[in-house]
Chains A and B, each alone.
Chain A
Amino acid sequence: MAKQVLTNVAVTFGTANTDISAYVTSITLSTTAAEVMTSAMGSSAMTRIQGMIDSSVTIELQQDYPTIEKLFWDAFTAGTAVPMTVKPNGTAAASSSNPSYAFSALPTSWTPVNGAIGDLATVSITYPISGAITKTGTGA
């Protein structure tokens, strides 16, 4: 696989694995680890180890009330982490060129109505991830 343009990221949301890809205009899956200092007396240089990992997912969505709004409203009001998957190259089987990232996102916010007159209705969310991100795919 060469360098590529993202046009077909497959995104599912919820326990029913609802495919929301057709409403997604942008997605960022990000994971960071805390930096823990391990320097001690006698050290001549700072030493560090990786600490707790913290991840989040940010999605720009196009609004659709019977589908997207209902799905996310229900998840937000339920108040528990929701399973999600992200695959960068469509719904084909997970592989090194299309790894699957599975995780649980905690719906901490929701914006049912957003937009100006004449604009396409959109919504932006950033959810923290509860637990680890599981990456799968042969050779991934």
Chain B
Amino acid sequence: MSSSTTVSQIKTGLAANLATVSGLRAYAYQPDNVNTPFAWPLLDSIQYNGAMGGGLITHRFTISVVVGRSAERTAQNLLDGYLSYKGATSIRQAIESDRTLGGVVQDLIVESANNISTLEANDATYLAIDFVVTVYA
């Protein structure tokens, strides 16, 4: 943990937690293909020196989830489940299901879900949502 933990380990751990949501394709890196629903973590910032000797490094991630075509009712239903605090498809619950990411970090918390939006790709409009996650390594 702490200064020996790599960003790759954290991304891999987040993807593993996301993969516990049935039907959700989870990636450690942004995928090339739009094959919904899928999710991946993007590192926003790192705060070094949270404690002496590299004792605490704070990472802030945005986990983007692309749900499906915005016009489809199934996509909107999926979004409802993903945004729920609890439940079989709750993204928050999945990310916090193992808060040490297999023992590589000290703790993490899903701060919020925001930026519900649409994105254009391959001549289609997709629903997307961002989850803000703070990871303490």
The chain B residue with its CB closest to the CB of A25 is B51
- Tell me the interface secondary structure of chain B in the complex: mixed
Number of A-B contacts (CB under 8 A): 44
Whether the pair A90, B55 counts as a contact (CB closer than 8 A) is no
9 contacts between A and B (CB under 8 A): A6-B52, A7-B54, A10-B53, A22-B52, A22-B53, A22-B54, A24-B55, A90-B53, A118-B109
Which of chain A's residues have a CB closer than 8 A to the CB of B100? none
- Chain B interface residues toward A at CB < 8 A: 2, 49-56, 106-107, 109, 111, 136
Selected contact of A21 from candidates B55, B109, B111, B136, CB within 8 Å: B55
In chain A, what residue has the closest Cβ to B58?
A: A120
Instruction: Check if A62 is an interface residue, CB within 8 A of chain B.
Output: yes
Residues of A near any B CB (own CB < 8 A): 6-11, 21-25, 27, 62, 64, 90, 118, 120
Q: Given the known A-B contacts A118-B109, A118-B111, A120-B136, are A21 and B52 also in contact in the complex, defined by CB atoms under 8 Å?
A: yes
> Which of B52, B55, B111 gathers most chain A CB within 10 Å?
B52
B55 touches A62 (CB 8 A): yes
Looking at the complex, which one of B54, B56, B109 makes contact with A62 (CB distance below 8 Å)?
Answer: B56
In chain A, what residue has the closest Cβ to B110? A118
Residues of chain A lying within 8 A (CB to CB) of residue B49: 7
